[in-house]
Structure 1
Amino acid sequence: MKPFKFKQFTIHQDRCAMKIGTDGVLLGAWVPIESSINSILDVGTGTGVIALMAAQRSNAETIDALEIDADAYEQAVENFEASPWGDRLFCYHASFQEFFQEIDDQYDLLISNPPFYTSDYKTENRQRDLARFQDALPFEHLFIGASRLLSDQGKLAIILPFKEEENVIEIGKQVQLFPQKITRVRGNATSAIKRSMILFGFNHSECELDELVIENNRHQYTDAYSNLTKDFYLKM
């Protein structure tokens, strides 16, 4: 499998169950990263793509990542070390559940492209299942962990299927994390909403809501999508 080349870094992904996909790149490009953010955690990093995008986009001194799968963990470490920001990137080989119970550090931003396929989709490939399925990281665990790990002004950014949006907002409320920005994603102008990207924080403020359409026609990207991803994709 050929490496995936971005403008400022390259991702090797032959040992990762979950390859580079639109979801991860969308979230990595979309997540608001203010200049005050000094520490970032990418939960379930896979290839490391979101952590690398955060490093390219920010001056955060600490960019940590977490990966439970041994092969993906090793590959993320190699991708980090080969990048221009190796001195700011660090990957832990652990589950999120273990991590948030043992770590005292706090982060200004948590980002997660979580595994969100429910158990009806189980395949024969256990590694891929682990990367994809909710039983690897239930949403409840993500929010409980986030509520412990985030600094007072900290934020949690996730991407998930649109049908899970209401459910996840309810889970967030239980730990005092409220939606502050929601971008709903359509493949094209006439297709159904497929994904929701949500930024949560502890402040119960007015939620900013918008939509992003990826394509006008097949392989003809909208200006909005091109502008969002042009700093990363070679052909944008």
Structure 2
Amino acid sequence: MKPFKFKQFEIQQSKDVFRVGTDGVLLGALAKVETRFCVLEIGTGTGLISLMLAQRNNQASFLGLDINEEAAALTTLNFENSPFRSRLKNKHQDFKTFETQEKFDLIVSNPPYFEESGSEKDKIARQTVELNFRQLITNAAHILSENGLLSVIIPVEAGDVFISIAEENNLFLSNRLNIKGIENSKTKRLILEFSLEKKEMTESEFIIEKSPRMYSDQYLELTSEFHIFKDKN
């Protein structure tokens, strides 16, 4: 597969690893990485999200985990080929059995979100086979620093369940971003941010396209430091 080129780094891709997609780009551009020093990404895939976060914060160090051996190898390759290589580490590791004494200021994930089906396509990356929401939240809560954040992107249909499980683990929703694929459409994705401290929740909206195949000004501005947009003039 052709690599996906960003302004400051390049993503090598594989047909057997979930590719660069809008969900990952949005989380990489919107997760609150400012003032964070120790970041964990769960389920790296290609390493896209950590690379975007590393570009945004040149003081932070990053650890990525992926249960898929090929994805872990691909992430490592993309980390090593980036200008942020000294701050990026990656492990072939099941998060369910991940043990650490370290506490993380930010934990990010674009987790599996389809219930198990008969399809083998993107089986680990897109279905809740290897890691379900409860496992993700419970384990993340134990290794989050006192002022840390858990930031995820999930389908809107899964939002209530995710928020409920988080509250059971004393993680409280502090920010909710409703993402629409196109203007005047229904919300399709949520970026949810949780903290150990209960505070007033903020809510906002993000629109990806203003019309079919035409990015919104909001999206263009958000990704201007990452995407290489072709000049249409």
TM normalised by structure 2 equals 0.95
Return the alpha-carbon distance in structure 1 between the equivalents of residues 175 and 212 of structure 2.
28
Return the alpha-carbon distance in structure 2 between the equivalents of residues 200 and 124 of structure 1.
32
The CA deviation at 1:54 is: 0.9
Alignment check: 8 A CA contact 2:154 2:189 kept: yes
The CA deviation at 1:17 is: 2.1
Alignment check: 8 A CA contact 2:177 2:203 kept: yes
Return the alpha-carbon distance in structure 1 between the equivalents of residues 175 and 218 of structure 2.
17
1:184-220: CA deviations, max 9, x gaps? 1111122211000001001111111011111111222
Return the alpha-carbon distance in structure 2 between the equivalents of residues 16 and 32 of structure 1.
30
Equivalent position to 1:115, from 112, 116, 121: 112
The CA deviation at 1:15 is: 5.4
1:23-65: CA deviations, max 9, x gaps? 0001110111222x11000100000000101110013342000
Return the alpha-carbon distance in structure 1 between the equivalents of residues 226 and 16 of structure 2.
20
Equivalence for 2:76: 77
The CA deviation at 1:221 is: 1.3
Alignment check: 8 A CA contact 2:103 2:144 kept: yes
Q: Which residue type is aligned with residue 21 of structure 2?
A: G
2:66 matched to 1:67?
Answer: yes
Equivalence for 1:178: 172
Return the alpha-carbon distance in structure 2 between the equivalents of residues 64 and 182 of structure 1.
25
Identify unmatched segments of 5+ residues in structure 2: none
Equivalence for 1:20: 20
Q: Which residue type is aligned with residue 89 of structure 1?
A: L
Return the alpha-carbon distance in structure 1 between the equivalents of residues 40 and 3 of structure 2.
24
Instruction: Indicate the larger mover: 201-210 or 56-65.
Output: 56-65
Instruction: Indicate the larger mover: 61-70 or 37-46.
Output: 61-70
- The structure-2 alpha-carbon separation of the partners of 1:60 and 1:174, relative to structure 1 and needing over 3 Å to count, comes to farther
Instruction: Indicate the larger mover: 214-223 or 82-91.
Output: 214-223
User: What pairs with 1:1-236 in structure 2 (closer than 5 Å)?
Assistant: 1-14=1-14, 16-35=16-35, 37-99=36-98, 102-119=99-116, 121-125=117-121, 128-235=122-229
Q: Which residue type is aligned with residue 52 of structure 1?
A: L
Alignment check: 8 A CA contact 1:169 1:179 kept: yes
Structure 1 runs (4+) deviating above 2 angstroms are none
Return the alpha-carbon distance in structure 1 between the equivalents of residues 81 and 54 of structure 2.
13
Return the alpha-carbon distance in structure 2 between the equivalents of residues 205 and 61 of structure 1.
25
The CA deviation at 1:144 is: 0.8
Instruction: Indicate the larger mover: 4-13 or 134-143.
Output: 134-143
Alignment check: 8 A CA contact 2:34 2:56 kept: no
Per residue, is there more helix in 1 or in 2?
1
Return the alpha-carbon distance in structure 1 between the equivalents of residues 61 and 16 of structure 2.
24
Return the alpha-carbon distance in structure 2 between the equivalents of residues 85 and 221 of structure 1.
28
The CA deviation at 1:222 is: 1.2
Q: Which residue type is aligned with residue 105 of structure 2?
A: D
Residue 130 of structure 1 aligns to a residue whose secondary structure is helix
Q: Which residue type is aligned with residue 66 of structure 1?
A: L
Q: Which residue type is aligned with residue 25 of structure 2?
A: V
Q: Which residue type is aligned with residue 195 of structure 1?
A: R
Identify unmatched segments of 5+ residues in structure 1: none
TM normalised by structure 1 equals 0.94
Alignment check: 8 A CA contact 1:189 1:213 kept: yes
